[in-house]
Amino acid sequence: MANRGLTLIELLVSLSIFVVLGASLVVFLRDGMATWRVGEIRRETYERAGAILDQIADDLHSTFTDPDPGDDLQPVEVLFLSDFDSHDRQRLRFVRTLSGEIRHPITREAGALTGGLADYDFLNDALESRLGVMRAPGGLVEVAYLHGAALGSEVIWRGIKGPIGGENSLFDEVNLTVGEEGTPMRCRPLADGVIYLEFNYWGAEIPNWSRNTPAPRSIFWWDSTRGIIEPPRGLAIPFDRASRNEHRDDVFPSKVEVVLVLRPARSTRLARLTTELDSSADTITVDSTVEYPENAFPFIRIDDEWVRYTTKTRRAFVGCVRGVRGSEAVEHPRGTRVVHGTTFSRVVRIPTTRDSRWVSR
């Protein structure tokens, strides 16, 4: 049988098959890489959120709640305060036990010499410890969580100070002011890319929940003394300046819910406003809502304003409540980006929770 080559039709069919197989391979690789990128972004986000929440949970688990000063003439220095800064952003301050004090490279040398005046407070700690002028924390430190000073800051700062009390206490507003470098004093950055941080509390005024009953409404404010920070309007909580240094009626929460929202990855496509938005509009039209959540946390942020929406269509957020999460409803020009983040929530139980020990007042 004589040898022969491929006919033109057979050659075209063969080339077509190779083109289809090659195109399929390209599509497969492209989709596979896209899936891998999404997975990596989610992994990094979850790891970051876990690290942040673990640090906050560790501090809350170690909350110290025995404010007995031992002397009626001494002020109560063991406090648990949750209020708002000048931009209506939540902040938290409390006292925790200091684990591993004798193993810590800084605090293990604190108190080695008498007459020291320096504190363990993130300010020249290594030098002060080496010179022997740092006071021993005594097993307790004050902890503070707050936002950066600038409006719209996405940095969460963690402050620390030991021993507790004194003129440098974190419970004093003066000691949380911005230093020369534009950062809160006695604080170090805990995380960047945090577009929202919220604390909610359950305690004496709020009953606990069980599996058979829905979770009761938490409160977003706390003053263990009920005599320092006046409660916001609408909270039926007793307040008396005279109870500031009466340790027997101090109240500490039993559970704290931490809500953390991280900025989306740079590769995430953010929607933009397709029309100008006034401060009273309850429907927000955008170019696309495909990548936006529709779950237990239906929130978006436009500039510095937070918005809660009821539902969404392909190109609009419907039933919007403007100016939530402590922000203010304002106008926004066309083309403004609409930001959403990845929301994480964790409920932390405080083992040392306590109610008022004063039976009759």
Q: Which pLDDT score, from 0 to 100, does residue 5 have?
A: 65
Phi then psi for residue 195, to 5 deg, are -95, -10
- The predicted-structure confidence for 215-237, as pLDDT tens digits, reads as follows 556 788 999 998 899 888 877 78
Mean pLDDT across the stretch 277-293? 89
Q: Angle at CA 146, nearest 5°, toward 200 and 77?
A: 80
Share of the chain above pLDDT 70, in %: 89
Q: Of 36-40, 60-64, 98-102, 180-184, which has the strongest mean pLDDT?
A: 60-64
At 69-90, the pLDDT tens digits run 666 656 778 999 999 988 889 9
* Identity of residue 150: A
Tell me how crowded residue 280 is: count the other CB atoms within 10 A of its CB: 8
User: Is 207 a residue whose pLDDT tops 60?
Assistant: no
Q: What confidence score (pLDDT) does residue 359 get?
A: 44
pLDDT band at 191 (very low <50, low <70, confident <90, very high): very high
Q: What is the mean pLDDT of residues 106-135?
A: 82
Check residue 6 and give left, alpha or beta (phi > 0: left; psi -120 to 50: alpha).
Answer: beta
Q: Where are the beta strands (DSSP E) in the chain?
A: 80-84, 90-97, 140-147, 156-161, 187-191, 194-202, 222-223, 255-262, 271-272, 284-285, 299-302, 305-308, 311-312, 316-318, 321-324, 337-339, 342-349
Query: 321: pLDDT confidence band, cut at 50, 70 and 90?
Result: very high
Residue of higher predicted confidence among 7 and 286: 286
pLDDT at 357: 61
CA angle 214, 238, 200 (to 5 degrees): 40
Q: What percent of the chain has pLDDT over 90?
A: 39
pLDDT surpasses 60 at 213: no
pLDDT in tens, 97-112: 988 777 777 887 777 7
256 pLDDT higher than 80: yes
Task: Please state the pTM of the whole predicted model.
Answer: 0.82
**What is the residue-averaged pLDDT of the chain?**
84
Q: What is the pLDDT of residue 282?
A: 92
